[in-house]
């Protein structure tokens, strides 16, 4: 219990003008665990992600990374602190090969790093082996990433965060647009990221998906936490009931 959480929100609130997006939200993200954030449309899930990813700042409460209180000014700061965010629409360039997308944005900040020396063959091979290490067997990393299925693209994004050393992986409804089979595959790789030691934040409106992989659960209703902080041991029935319940 000595180690601080990788990410901790304590009593965090966020307003857009007079609109309450989040109020009094608390959660912890620990290495090797999956913290699920559940909620319907408008519950505040996107706002929560934006605070953790450095796109927005909270108005009240505290945000800690590795025990240090922070206010992230931009997404780069979040990345520098080890927080990688995979958005639903994935920031990929559809016509570029998988391997090129894999390395996109991994360039060091100052132009002095090793990136310039990376050649195509190296990036191809690294992408292939990073995917394989996660158990993702993509035959052709030269194909445009746009030709992959939505689930496959999510898997590549997850492998990418693991490969580039993220400590915290924030996933914005990775299974939202997927069918049962693809959802199962994506959840398998979410679990693989956890098993690789990352702390994962899984945003979802699907209690079953949360139940399958979650260690901690936070339920948002109209910006507020509903049902308190649900620890592991919760049943699927209970999660589903809490999601369906109208109480705030």
* By the rule CB under 6 A, 44 interacts with ligand ATP: yes
* By the rule CB under 6 A, 43 interacts with ligand ATP: yes
Give the burial class of 180: count Cβ atoms within 10 A of its Cβ; 0-12 exposed, 13-18 middle, 19 or more buried.
exposed
Q: Which residue is nearest to ligand ATP (CB)?
A: 46
Stretch that binds ligand ATP, among 3-11, 36-44, 70-78, 191-199 (CB under 6 A): 36-44
45 versus 124: smaller Cβ distance to ligand ATP: 45
- Site residues for ligand ATP, 58-77, by CB under 6 A, read none
**Both tokens of residue 19?**
């609109």
What are phi and psi for residue 212, nearest 5 degrees? -60, -40
24 versus 197: smaller Cβ distance to ligand ATP: 24
Stretch that binds ligand ATP, among 26-34, 38-46, 76-84, 139-147 (CB under 6 A): 38-46
* By the rule CB under 6 A, 214 interacts with ligand ATP: no
* By the rule CB under 6 A, 46 interacts with ligand ATP: yes
**Both tokens of residue 57?**
């700042």
141 versus 220: smaller Cβ distance to ligand ATP: 220
- Site residues for ligand ATP, 165-184, by CB under 6 A, read none
Q: Give the SS3 label for residue 60.
A: strand
* By the rule CB under 6 A, 18 interacts with ligand ATP: no
- DSSP state letters, 105-127: T-S-SSTTSGGGG--HHHHHHHH
The answer to whether residues 97 and 145 touch, using CB atoms and an 8 Å cutoff, is yes
* By the rule CB under 6 A, 51 interacts with ligand ATP: no
134 versus 219: smaller Cβ distance to ligand ATP: 219
Residues 6+ apart with CB under 8 A from 114: 108
d(C-alpha 90, C-alpha 72), whole Å: 21
* By the rule CB under 6 A, 218 interacts with ligand ATP: no
d(C-alpha 245, C-alpha 114), whole Å: 53
* By the rule CB under 6 A, 12 interacts with ligand ATP: no
d(C-alpha 11, C-alpha 34), whole Å: 20
Given 6, 39, 155, 219, the residue binding ligand ATP (CB under 6 A): 39
Residues 6+ apart with CB under 8 A from 147: none
* By the rule CB under 6 A, 242 interacts with ligand ATP: no
* Chain residues in the site for ligand ATP (CB under 6 A): 16, 19, 21, 39, 41-47, 223
């Amino acid at each position: 219990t000595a180690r601080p959480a990788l990410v901790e929100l304590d009593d965090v609130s966020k307003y857009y003008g007079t609109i309450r997006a989040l109020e009094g939200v608390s959660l912890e993200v620990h290495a090797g665990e999956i913290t699920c954030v559940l909620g319907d449309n408008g519950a505040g899930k996107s706002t929560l992600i934006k605070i953790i990813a450095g796109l927005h700042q909270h108005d009240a409460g505290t945000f800690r990374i590795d025990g240090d209180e922070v206010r992230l000014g931009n997404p780069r700061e979040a990345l520098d602190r080890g927080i990688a965010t995979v958005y639903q629409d994935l920031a990929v360039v559809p016509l570029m090969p998988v391997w090129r997308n894999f390395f996109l944005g991994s360039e060091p900040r100052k132009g002095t790093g090793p990136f310039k020396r990376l050649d195509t063959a190296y990036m191809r091979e690294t992408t292939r082996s990073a995917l394989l290490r996660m158990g993702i067997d993509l035959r052709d990393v030269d194909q445009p990433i746009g030709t992959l299925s939505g689930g496959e693209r999510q898997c590549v994004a997850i492998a990418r965060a693991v490969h580039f050393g993220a400590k915290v992986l924030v996933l914005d409804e990775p299974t939202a647009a997927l069918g049962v089979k693809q959802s199962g595959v994506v959840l398998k790789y979410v679990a693989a990221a956890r098993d690789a030691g990352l702390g994962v934040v899984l945003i979802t409106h699907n209690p079953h998906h949360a139940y399958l992989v979650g260690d901690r659960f936070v339920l948002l209703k109209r910006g507020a936490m509903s049902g308190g902080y649900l620890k592991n041991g919760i049943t699927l029935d209970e999660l589903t009931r809490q999601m369906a319940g109208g109480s705030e």
